[in-house]
Structure 1
Amino acid sequence: MFVIQVNERGQITIPKELREKVNINPRDNLKIDIDEQGRLILFKRNLLDDLEDLIKRDLINEGYSEEDFQAKIPKCKKELAKALMKDITEPEQQYEQGEFASLKDLKKENT
């Protein structure tokens, strides 16, 4: 456990050892939340967190209100993650099955 102090401006310094341990780098975006016991939870944003604003905008366009976000956003993130994984794995499978064209082949077709 790390003990840190809040300065006069409400800022904290995350100890170097902790930053290295959880791979926090300059300019990384962090999120802070409060759990049911009133404890602060600090975590590093990931790609899906960065897309949360886009998901919210889509939900608003679909007629959902902010009250619906808590239930809908995790589901949307999960669906998005599945779609991204599919986009990643399909080309790998095609490559493994020999269903691909090399740059050399494409250049031959265009000449």
Structure 2
Amino acid sequence: MLYDVQINDRGQITIPKELRDTVNLQAHDRLKLSINTDGRIILYKSDFFDDVEDLIRKDLEGEGLSAEQVEKKLPERKKELGKALLKMASEVEQEIERGEYFTLDQLDEELEGEE
């Protein structure tokens, strides 16, 4: 279904309630805008992966890379992060199988004892 919206003098649009309800948009949710190859605007709700990508992008910019270099390097960094996360998950799985793990409550108690 298509929804008609209008841009006001301040450049803002109102997303119709029916659409907000359908896609579970709440006040203060972060949204992302992009343009597809046909020049159409794509609007979507920001998620965890967008936040991670933003952090990687900021890290690359902090290394002094240009915007163009950041965009070229970004996929490589995302792949490196994915590999690291898979390795961590595998290591945790092995620790659980060996019974060598802490529950979050145990970790919390241990950290409180260090204060």
Give the aligned partner of residue 2 of structure 2: 2
Number of aligned pairs? 106
Matched, 1:20 2:40: no
Question: Where in structure 1 are there 5+ consecutive unaligned residues?
Answer: none
Percent sequence identity over matched residues? 47
Deviations 1:3-43 (A, max 9, x none): 22214333222223322333322211101111121100111
CA contact (8 A) 1:48 1:77 kept: no
Cα 1:97–1:67 shift into 2, 3 Å: same
Matched residue SS, 1:51? helix
Deviations 1:82-101 (A, max 9, x none): 43454455434422442235
Q: Over aligned residue pairs, what C-alpha RMSD do you find?
A: 3.0
> What is the letter of the counterpart of residue 73 of structure 1?
L
- One-letter code aligned to 1:94: E
Residues 1-111 of structure 1 mapped to structure 2, 5 A cutoff: 1-9=1-9, 10-88=11-89, 90-100=91-101, 103=106
Structure 1 29/91 Cα, relative in aligned 2: closer, same or farther at 3 Å?
A: same
TM-score (norm 1): 0.67
Per mean C-alpha deviation after superposition, the further-off stretch among 53-62 and 24-33 is: 53-62
The amino acid that maps onto 2:28 is R
